[in-house]
Structure 1
C-alpha cells in the first residue's frame, strides 16, 4: 500500500491521474488486484487521504514489478503532479495472515 496526502481541492485531479495512467498491471506476472481508496478529509491539516493497494501472488512478484520497465512507465509522470501532494507517498507493505 501507498498512502497519499492530497491537498484539499485536488482530489478529483488525483483520481483522474490514476484512472488515466497505463499501468499494464494486468500483464505483470504475479499481479492479482489493485484498488485506489479515498479516505477521510483531514481539514485541519489540509489533506484528503488516499491509499493505493495492490495484491500480489508473493513478495518476489511485487519486487520484480518495482524493478520493471512497466513500473517505470507507470510512474514516469509522477513529478508533474507534485503540487497536489502534501509530502511524498508512504509505502506500507503487508503479508496476508488470514483471508478468504
Structure 2
C-alpha cells in the first residue's frame, strides 16, 4: 500500500467554504490503475487556520507516480478551487509505504 498525503492550512473562518469546494470538485481517479480510496481529515484548529490532511491510497508507489504523469492528474489539479483566498500557502506533500498514525484526526469527507 502507498499513501499520498498532503497537509493544507485553511484560513480560520473559511472551513465551510473549503469543505464545500472539496466535496464539489471533479474527481479524476475513477478507473485509474492502482487507486483505492481518498479521505479528507480535519485536525488542529487555532485562531489562524484549520489543518486538513487529504490522502489517496494506492496499491503501490508506482501506480501513484504513473497517475501523476497522466492527463487525469492534470485535470484533477488544474484548479483546486476557484477561491484562492482559502489557504495559508500551498499543500505540504509526503508519501508513505504502509499506514501512518492519524491519532487526533477525524475523517470529514
Report the Cα offset of residue 97 of structure 1.
6.6
- Which stretches in structure 2 are left out of the alignment for 5+ residues? 101-109
TM-score by length of 2: 0.80
The list of structure 1 runs, each at least 4 consecutive aligned residues, that deviate by more than 3 angstroms after superposition, is none
Report the Cα offset of residue 15 of structure 1.
1.0
CA deviation digits over 1:26-84, x for unaligned, max 9? 211100110011112122xx000001111100001001111111111111113733210
Higher relative contact order (CA 8 A, sep 6+): 2
- More helix as a share of residues: 1
- More strand as a share of residues: 2
State the alpha-carbon separation in 1 of the partners of residues 81 and 39 from structure 2: 22
Q: Which residue of 2 aligns with 1:69?
A: 71
- Which stretches in structure 1 are left out of the alignment for 5+ residues? none
**Number of aligned positions between the proteins:** 96
